[in-house]
């Protein structure tokens, strides 16, 4: 079985009783006796085990993949505080890895230990923090993008598409459908007549379905088509190309309102 080794001393004078050579020799002997193939031995010199930011430890964790066992003389080489223990356990569990301790033959990060109640709680908090941090970064990035007048996320409305630069662009194949829907609604005067015209002409949604009246209402009311960008509480002029001019859009809203009040074409 392939294994990694890890050694650490807290001071360059190696006053903690576990010199690098002593640790490495013990790990090499242990691997030979147990038929382990020691692939590489990572090390940190002159760094306290209370610190999680160590080059050797970082390299070790990033190297975990096919090799999932790490041999140490004692777990104190990996951590000297509960905080670092939580971090190491967390990263090892993500990789499906485990620790083999020369001086603690029964040790495993997967063993149930009453003292690990606090550790598991801290790991859960770290996972929650990481998810929250990612969410906050994404949200902040989207809001910044929206403030600049660019659609930040979500599906591109019919008539538009996401381009290779992750920006909204006009979709020539469907933009004409949107322009026609606005134009025909004003000409025909009701959703019922508009739907009948679209069905008869064979127009369908991106999913290949006939347009429902609800879908048509959502399209006709969507001010993105006149150049407005909405993101949460932000309502600003977008950088995208409008498919409908503001005058036509205004006339459509007025007709929708009149027909809804009159009950024409089931526009409710």
pLDDT at 10: 86
- Structure confidence at residue 136 as a pLDDT band (50, 70, 90): low
Both 105 and 167 in one domain: the answer is no
Both 104 and 170 in one domain: the answer is no
pLDDT at 43: 93
Does residue 147 lie in a domain region? no
Does residue 41 lie in a domain region? yes
For 187-244, the pLDDT digits (tens) are 999 999 999 999 999 999 988 999 999 999 999 999 999 999 987 778 889 999 999 9
Q: How many domains does the chain have?
A: 2
For 32-88, the pLDDT digits (tens) are 999 999 999 999 998 898 888 888 999 999 999 999 999 999 999 999 888 888 889
CATH code for the domain in which residue 51 is found: 3.40.50.1390
CATH code for the domain in which residue 241 is found: 3.90.1750.20
pTM: predicted TM-score of the whole model, two decimal places:
0.50
Both 95 and 185 in one domain: the answer is no
Does residue 131 lie in a domain region? no
Does residue 122 lie in a domain region? no
For 92-120, the pLDDT digits (tens) are 999 999 999 999 999 999 887 666 656 66
Helix-strand-coil split of the chain, %, nearest 5:
50, 15, 35
3-class state of residue 242 by DSSP? coil
Does residue 129 lie in a domain region? no
pLDDT at 160: 95
Does residue 204 lie in a domain region? yes
Strands (E), the chain: 2-9, 37-45, 69-72, 98-101, 160-162, 168-170, 228-231, 234-237
Both 166 and 99 in one domain: the answer is no
Domain coverage including residue 204:
160-266
Domain boundary (111, 143, 169) is at 111
Does residue 136 lie in a domain region? no
């Amino acid at each position: 079985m392939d294994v990694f080794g890890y050694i650490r001393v807290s001071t360059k004078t190696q006053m903690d009783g576990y010199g690098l050579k002593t640790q490495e020799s013990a790990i090499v002997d242990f691997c030979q006796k147990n038929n382990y193939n020691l692939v590489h031995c990572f090390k940190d010199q002159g760094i306290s085990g209370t610190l999680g930011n160590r080059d050797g430890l970082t390299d070790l964790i990033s190297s975990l993949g096919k090799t999932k066992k790490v041999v140490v003389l004692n777990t104190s080489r990996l951590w000297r505080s509960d905080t670092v223990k939580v971090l190491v356990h967390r990263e090892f569990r993500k990789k499906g890895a485990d620790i083999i301790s020369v001086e603690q033959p029964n040790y495993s990060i997967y063993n149930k230990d009453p003292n690990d109640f606090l550790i598991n709680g801290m790991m859960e908090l770290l996972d929650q923090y990481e998810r929250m941090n990612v969410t906050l970064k994404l949200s902040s990035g989207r809001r910044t993008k929206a403030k600049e007048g660019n659609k930040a996320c979500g599906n591109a409305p019919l008539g538009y598409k996401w381009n290779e630069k992750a920006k909204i662009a006009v979709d020539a194949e469907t933009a004409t459908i949107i322009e026609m829907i606005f134009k025909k609604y004003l000409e025909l005067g009701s959703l019922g007549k508009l739907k009948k015209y679209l069905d008869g002409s064979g127009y369908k949604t991106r999913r290949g379905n006939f347009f429902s009246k609800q879908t048509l209402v959502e399209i006709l009311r969507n001010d993105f088509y006149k150049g407005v960008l909405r993101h949460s509480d932000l309502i600003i002029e977008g950088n995208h190309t409008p498919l409908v001019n503001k005058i036509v859009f205004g006339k459509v809203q007025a007709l929708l309102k009149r027909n809804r009040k009159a009950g024409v074409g089931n526009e409710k």
